[in-house]
Every structure is written in C-alpha cells, then in structure tokens.
Amino acid sequence: MSAGFFNGKVAIVTGGASGSGRATALAFAEAGAKVAVADLALEGGKETVESIERAGGDAIFVGTDVSRPADVEALVARTVDELGPLSFAANCAAIEQETTRLADLDEETFDRIIAVNLKSIFLCLKYEIKAMLDHGRGGAIVNIASTNSFRPQPRQTAYTASKHGVVGITRTAAIEYARDGIRVNAVCPGAIRTPMLENRVAQRGGTIEETAKLLSLLGRVGEPAEVAKAVLWLCSDDSSFTLGHTLAVDGGYLAR
C-alpha cells in the first residue's frame, strides 16, 4: 500500500509486538494511519511503536490481554480518546502451545488457546464495531485465521478449533454489519516466518526449510510483510466489494 493511502485514519493492531502483527502495524503506519499497537509483550510492543515513530509515524502502545473483556474495552476506548475515530482493526493476536495428540491435551491448555485465539476475536469485534457504529462512518476489520481453518494439522486440536471459529465469527459479523458500512474479512496465513512458527518447528525437531517443502508450493515460507499487505488491501477501498471473505496467504498450500 502506498504512503499516504490511510492518512488521518486510525487503526488498532493486536499482537503487534512481533511477527505478522508487528509487520501489519508498521505497514499501516507507513501508509499514513495512526496506530494503536496492542500486546501483552510490553518490550516488543514498545519496540514496534518506536520503529513507527522513528519513521515519522504516529503510534501508541496499549498493554492488552485480548482474552479479558476489560482490557479490550480499554484498548478501544484509549485508541479513540488519544488517536481519534476508529477506521480499521487487524486482530492478529494468537498463541499455539500444543505438542500432544487430542487425548493427551490438558484442559488448561485447551481453554487458554481458545481464549486467546477465539474469544479474543469476539471481544475485539464487539468493541471495535461499537466504536465504528458510534462515529457512523463504517470501517474495516480483518481477523487472522489460518490454513488450519480449512486443513487441520496433527497435534493442533485447540489451535485448529479456534481458527475454524475465527472464520465462522468473521462471516457472521460480515453479514450482520454490512449495511452499517463495516466490512469484516479474514486472512488465513500458511507457513509464515514468525516466532510462533519457529518455536513450533523447533519443538518438533524440524527445520524451516523442511517445513517450507511441506507447506508451500513455492519452496519457501512466507514473510510477515506478505500477510500485512493482504490485511491492508482488505482494509482499503480497493476491496470495497469484498466482505465475509477468507483470503489465503499460504504459498499455494490450500490449493493442493
């Protein structure tokens, strides 16, 4: 997206401390938006804001546990108070902690993954949509789903369930708020070079190169900036007739 495309607009990016969330926050700022960066990782979130400010952009960091209603409500309220009416949101925060098959997965891990990956999407949509309805000028929201939303991987029971849910809630919200001028879509990343992917590969004793051969037709993993470009397109007027859509950024993995 070219510089200035979102001049004067305000965006929230959750999970903005690293990976695709950080890349998305940087991309919004480069295109002229004022950005609220939300994450539990304080140091990483502040580094994202500092990177934006060094480049001449405008950003704030809001420490946020996206699984807690009060935190999400406060995030949206502070964004509007300090930056202005909310136009865009990219709900990128997620975790993936599983190493076992379903029968060995403990309830605590299951509940935590569902809370961070799925309940958070409900909470973010709830308060982001309310803020957009309040100013009456519509907006665009992108939720980060996964190729697991369509093709599960072993030892990822809770993660897969959560990402199936993200697609369902995205489509429902798109139907409910289309006439209010609020477009809701999802991006489904495949194997993207993020700390989450690197940790998962390390846990399973593999390499990024081996993963790329299995999960991409291009023979490489994707980069966070490639996810960010998809998010910004779905927020832009160039996608004005696109809603309730799940856009795969997966190196062709789902085409197999």
Per-residue pLDDT of 30-46, as tens digits, reads 999 999 999 999 999 99
Domains contained in the chain, CATH given: 10-249 (3.40.50.720)
User: Across residues 123-128, what is the average pLDDT?
Assistant: 98
If you average pLDDT over every residue of the chain, what do you get?
95
Q: Is 159 a catalytic residue?
A: yes
Residue 48 has pLDDT above 70, yes or no: yes
Predicted local distance difference test score (pLDDT) of residue 241: 98
Query: How far is 150 from 22, CA to CA, in rounded Å?
Result: 25
Q: Are 86 and 14 in contact (CB under 8 A)?
A: no
Q: Is residue 2 over pLDDT 70?
A: no
Least confident of 118-132, 181-195, 197-211, 224-238: 197-211
Closest Cα partner for 16 from 86, 84, 66, 69? 66
pLDDT at residue 99 tops 90: no
pLDDT digits (tens, 9 = 90+) for 144-175: 999 999 999 899 999 999 999 999 999 999 99
Mean pLDDT of 39-58: 98
What does the pLDDT average to over 73-100? Answer: 96
Q: What is the mean pLDDT of residues 51-57?
A: 98
- Active-site annotation holder among 127, 159, 177, 253: 159
Spatial separation of the C-alpha atoms in residues 108 and 175, rounded to whole Å: 33
Q: Is the pLDDT of residue 124 over 80?
A: yes
- Please report the sign of the dihedral spanned by the C-alpha atoms of residue 167, residue 221, residue 113, residue 94: negative
The torsion defined by the Cα of 59, 65, 67 and 68, in degrees rounded to 10, comes to: -100
pLDDT bin (cut points 50, 70, 90) of residue 25 is very high
Query: 166 near 149, Cβ under 8 Å?
Result: yes
Give the predicted TM-score (pTM) of the model: 0.95
Average pLDDT on 98-125 reads: 97
Rounded to whole angstroms, the Cα distance separating 102 from 54 reads: 46
pLDDT at position 91 over 80: yes
- pLDDT on residue 1: 62
Task: Work out the average pLDDT over 74-89.
Answer: 98
Query: pLDDT tens-digit profile of 62-76?
Result: 999 999 999 999 999
Looking from the CA of 128 toward its CB, the CA atoms found within 13 Å total: 29
